[in-house]
Amino acid sequence: MNKRLIYSGKAKDVFETDNDNELILFYKDQATALNGIRKEHITGKGNLNCKISSLIFHYLMRNGIETHLINDLSDNEQLVKRTKLIPIEVVLRNTIAGSFARKFALDEGKKLDPPVIEYYFKSDELNDPAINESQIESIGIANESELQEIKKQTLAINKLLVELFNQDKLDLVDFKLEFGHFETGIILIDEFSPDNCRLWDQTSHQSFDKDVFRKNEADLVTTYKKVLDRLEGVR
């Protein structure tokens, strides 16, 4: 299959294929923090993120959430539907942590009920600035009904994933999603892995996500492998 690199991101490369309706995602053995300022090669990370994301997207699809995933091509590659990216990152928070704790000088760990939904405008140059619903609508990123759809899907995904991780004795603290326009409507794209969520062990409260790398707390590959093992153990 011919493939041509069209985008190289921090954690993934994106390739065009002979088929205009499909793309290939290649998960890199690379971890970044501080918006790419800190960058490290980590053997095995791409493989783990690809497997974890695939497992989670298949679980979501079995439960009625449409995603861009078609199938896995190798340990590090997925074939996905080509969509028109909606340039916002949607963050959902079930529990206070990270930038939310810092922004409002709050202690980490308190549950947020209802969950908080935030949006960030996808722009490496601008450092992904926060953006609100009114700004998203007024500058034409998404209209009111599209935003409602994104919110509805985000909440449904949250409910399903809280249940999934709960079976593995992990609390889903927060996560980031991306969406794209497809012929069937707005669908979930990108990935779901410990790179873009926070998972805390329900007993030890240890992090099982990229915070171990950001804070130099534990080995990233060992940590992500534990997440994969737990997810595979219950299914």
What residues line the site for ligand TMP (CB under 6 A)? 91, 97-100, 128, 174-176, 196-198
Based on CB atoms, which residue is closest to ligand TMP, 59 or 100? 100
Closest distance of CB 175 from ligand TMP, Å: 5
Beta bridge partners of 13: 8, 26
The DSSP result for 25-92, as a single string, is EEE-SEEEETTTTEEEE-TTHHHHHHHHHHHHHHHHHHTT--BSEEEE-SSSEEEEE--EE-SEEEEE
Based on CB atoms, which residue is closest to ligand TMP, 19 or 123? 123
Based on CB atoms, which residue is closest to ligand TMP, 97 or 157? 97
Using the 8-state DSSP alphabet, how is residue 200 labeled?
Answer: E
Residue, CB closest to ligand TMP: 98
Q: Residue 102, SS3?
A: helix
Closest distance of CB 199 from ligand TMP, Å: 9
Token pair recorded at residue 26: 């290649």
Closest distance of CB 207 from ligand TMP, Å: 10
Based on CB atoms, which residue is closest to ligand TMP, 36 or 185? 36
Sign of the dihedral through C-alpha 7, 177, 59, 181: negative
Closest distance of CB 51 from ligand TMP, Å: 18
